Amino acid sequence: NAGVTQTPKFQVLKTGQSMTLQCAQDMNHEYMSWYRQDPGMGLRLIHYSVGAGITDQGEVPNGYNVSRSTTEDFPLRLLSAAPSQTSVYFCASSPLAGPSYEQYFGPGTRLTVT
Amino acid sequence: AQSVTQLGSHVSVSEGALVLLRCNYSSSVPPYLFWYVQYPNQGLQLLLKYTTGATLVKGINGFEAEFKKSETSFHLTKPSAHMSDAAEYFCAASWTSGSRLTFGEGTQLTVNP
């Protein structure tokens, strides 16, 4: 199993550009989520999904869209990039939606918005 | 609001010394609790978790943590630090029936030879 994969590893955008961060998992996990990591703030939840076709907002959803058309994929879209979205983005998955289940994290995408 | 606080953004220990990383949560309802480790330029890896049952939890790489409800704490310890333990450590909690995690700010552990 490849686990949770994320592409690209690095990305530089100009303010106002849009892009999609890709996330895929091959473990048949129902639950997937996106976090952003900023220095001194830990990780904050952006959006999550409890299954194909079902998504919901997390703590910091503004400026981001998600969709979940398949179990495997959970892309994160930046509609109009802003410097405040400069961050490291992590995708995670777990077998089911439940606090006792371990979440598996991808290697991250480092995004810089200039 | 429910939150997680890690005391000390940077902790430095000598190789072979005790590692103690502190984590407290703020809520009258005890959450599920987790410790994750992040090595440079990598994703997060689960060290250990507390859900129910025994309050002393053992994890990978010789780490353990004790849940103390009266102190709303879940401190991470390791008796003897190794150079390979140098990393960033995150405490996280979940209060919901789903999988939403609330993370602490992180603690960067440095191990000196």
Contact state of A40 with B106 under an 8 Å Cβ cutoff: yes
The whole-number pLDDT of residue B16 equals 97
End-to-end CA distance of chain A: 36
Question: Which residue in A30, A37, A49 has the most chain B C-beta atoms within 10 A of its own C-beta, making it the best mutation to test that interface?
Answer: A37
CA B113 to chain A, closest CA, distance in angstroms equals 26
pLDDT at residue A48 above 80? yes
Look-up: residue for tokens 């009266």?
B70
Q: What are the pLDDT digits (tens) for B17-65?
A: 999 999 999 988 888 999 999 998 888 999 999 988 889 999 999 999 9
Contact state of B104 with A50 under an 8 Å Cβ cutoff: no
DSSP A82: -
pLDDT at residue A60 above 70? yes
Residues A48-65: what's their mean pLDDT? 94
Query: What Rg do the C-alpha atoms of chain A give, in angstroms?
Result: 13
Q: What are the pLDDT digits (tens) for A91-101?
A: 999 987 777 77
Nearest CA in chain B to A3: B43
CA distances A37 to A90, A91, B48, Å, are 8, 11, 21
DSSP A108: -
Contact state of B104 with A42 under an 8 Å Cβ cutoff: yes
User: Which of B32, B41, B98 comes nearest A50 by C-beta?
Assistant: B98
The whole-number pLDDT of residue B98 equals 61
CA A71 to CA A93: how far, in whole Å? 10
CA A41 to chain B, closest CA, distance in angstroms equals 5
Nearest CA in chain A to B44: A105
Q: What are the pLDDT digits (tens) for B65-75?
A: 999 999 999 99
CB of B7 within 8 Å of a chain A CB? The answer is: no
Q: What are the pLDDT digits (tens) for A100-113?
A: 778 899 999 999 99
CB of A94 within 8 Å of a chain B CB? The answer is: yes
- Supply angle C-alpha B72, A60, A67, rounded to 5: 120
Chain A residues lying within 8 Å of B98, measured CB to CB: 31, 48, 50, 97-99
pLDDT at residue A82 above 90? yes
Residues whose CB is less than 8 angstroms from the CB of residue B70 and which lie 6 or more positions away in sequence, other chains included: none
Q: What are the pLDDT digits (tens) for B76-96?
A: 999 999 999 999 999 999 887
Distance of CA A54 to the CA centre of its chain: 15
Residues A37-46: what's their mean pLDDT? 92
Confidence of residue B97 (pLDDT cuts 50, 70, 90): low
Find out whether A46 and A10 touch, Cβ atoms under 8 Å: no
The whole-number pLDDT of residue A17 equals 97
CA B81 to chain A, closest CA, distance in angstroms equals 23
Within 10 angstroms of residue A57's Cβ, the number of other Cβ atoms is 13
pLDDT at residue A55 above 90? yes
- Supply angle C-alpha A23, A7, B46, rounded to 5: 60
pLDDT at residue A66 above 80? yes
3-class DSSP assignment, residue A36 = strand
Looking at chain A, the whole-number percentage of residues with pLDDT higher than 90 is 86
Tokens at A50, concatenated:
């409890």
**Please, what's the largest Cα pairwise distance for chain A?**
40
Q: What are the pLDDT digits (tens) for A15-41?
A: 999 999 999 999 999 999 999 999 888
